[in-house]
Structure 1
């Protein structure tokens, strides 16, 4: 079934982007002209336009047979650019953490049902994390994933992880969503998330959120320690460093009500 539907799906995607490109070249255009330009049937062109209109990417000029792009593409592009700016803003704060404790620091965000690393600065120790920018890890077993999910409702978390298999990476990894939901309540109260050897044996992580100007948690900054270098007595110092970094980045993004 998958093999037979894939070419049709690819063709549909190409049609959508061809329509978007054509609409971007002029303010408004009619179905007949657009279908001729793209060498598509008028019925097919109309069907795609109506779907794109329903999704908010295209608007119809009154009752006329004219269509134009909305600002939704700009909104989507702005979100992508926001992450580009975010890396630059976070880099300085991450360097400050490295200078203070010399442990690996990550910047990560949620992408579908995983976290993805947007930026990383390594410690100078030989023993360190083998992660990389662009790598994905599960939400349920990472400090970044937990702190970002803590800003969602329980229903949103359950929906997000509905199709996720909870793999037992270590003996400490959550086996299902119930203990995770319980832990997220604590994360909300303390404003930081932890990975206590849940993703990799011998590795601990602490993460705090970064907010955009609307107060949405769009990313998280984490510090990772081999357990042999983690000093429990300095845990609050680590958290304070992370919160200072998260607060500073959030303020540069326009959010001035950091919770800690």
Structure 2
């Protein structure tokens, strides 16, 4: 990186350091938002207990965020939750790429054709982050709100994206194990995951056979950009009594076709 580009991202007199430079108060404030995003609505005492922090300190952070619309407080229950301003700021992450908008028609079609919830996810720091969803109308359904994260090795989208990794990148990923075994079906060995990648590449779609959650299955395929790079994954998820071994091939073909349609819209040559 040249000096001109480097200076645009940090002060001119900034010296490179191995140790990240952080501001403790900002770190604590972000911890509060993350705790609320994971825990939903929490009272001050619940939040303080979960974070092992002083209620007085957390209240100052929450009050500051509330003034900016980053958090909200329900007067009747005195519960705190993430506010609309935090959502608007987080949504800017999705606007960096048009894959979300490009994928939406395909996701709606998938939901209608299969009767199951359709999802869109990307890889970030070795995890899958779900960024969009079209829910089925069925009462029993999968639900991955935007921002939900899942391990690569145990999710349909994660495995679909892993199948596009170069041999060197895949080897590094496997070396970073061990991998958590969520259910008896979770594939956690290097040989098992390598074999799974070969199967996914041959079929063109990945199958999560209750590997993250008992009773839930997922079928996914990678979305490519004009450079042939995987930028996202598209999937359907549903309960095992509806996503059965008998319809995996049929649903897999639909998911693969949807991924190819979105890839072409992004300029990929297939």
Runs (4 or more) in structure 1 with deviation over 4 Å come to 80-83
CA deviation after TM superposition for structure 1 residue 199, in Å = 0.4
Say yes or no: does 1:202 pair with 2:190. Answer: no
How does the TM-score come out when normalised to structure 2?
A: 0.64
From 139, 147, 150, give the equivalent of 1:137.
150
Residue number among 218, 242, 247 corresponding to 1:234 in the alignment: 247
1:151 to 158, 161, 164: 164
Listed as ranges, the matches of 1:97-136 within 5 Å are 97-136=110-149
Q: Distance in 2 between matches of 1:219 and 1:18?
A: 29
Distance 1:123 1:111, change over 3 A: same
Q: Which residue of 2 aligns with 1:189?
A: 202
| Partner of residue 55, structure 2 | none
Q: What residue is the counterpart of 1:95 in the other structure? A: 108
Structure number with larger C-alpha Rg? 1
1:184-217 per-position Cα deviation (integer Å, ceiling 9, x unaligned):
1111111111110100001111111111001111
Distance across 2 between alignment mates of 1:100 and 1:91: 14
Gaps of 5+ in 2: 17-92
Distance in 1 (CA, whole Å) between partners of 2:151 and 2:244 is: 26
Moved more, 226-235 or 188-197: 226-235
Q: CA deviation at 1:182?
A: 1.6
Question: RMSD value over aligned CA atoms?
Answer: 2.5
Q: CA deviation at 1:238?
A: 1.0
Aligned to 1:223: 236
**Aligned residues of 2:94 and 2:100 also touching (Cα < 8 A):** no
Task: Measure how far apart 1:237 and its partner are.
Answer: 2.2
Unmatched tracts of structure 1, length 5 or more: 1-16, 23-33, 36-43, 49-79
Contact 2:118 2:134 in 1 (8 A): yes
| Equivalent residue for 1:172, pick from 176, 185, 204 | 185
> Could you tell me how far 1:240 is from its partner in structure 2?
2.1
Classify 1:240/1:175 alpha carbon distance in 2 versus 1 (closer, same or farther; 3 Å): closer
Indicate how the Cα distance of structure 1 residues 106 and 247 shifts in structure 2: closer, same or farther if over 3 A, else same: same
The structure in which a higher percent of residues are helix is: 1
What is the alpha-carbon distance in structure 1 between the residues aligned to residue 9 and residue 190 of structure 2?
43
Alpha-carbon shift at residue 154 of structure 1 (Å): 3.3
User: How many Å apart are 1:90 and its aligned residue?
Assistant: 0.4
Are the structure 2 counterparts of residues 82 and 160 from structure 1 closer, same or farther at C-alpha, using a change threshold of 3 Å? farther
Distance 1:89 1:18 in 2: 33
Q: TM-score, normalised by structure 1?
A: 0.67
Which whole-Å CA distance do the structure 1 matches of 2:119 and 2:225 have between them? 18
Give the Cα–Cα distance (whole angstroms) in 1 for the partners of residues 196 and 244 of structure 2: 22
1:20 aligns with 2:20: no
| Cα drift, residue 253 of structure 1 | 0.5
**How far 1:145 moved relative to its partner?**
1.0
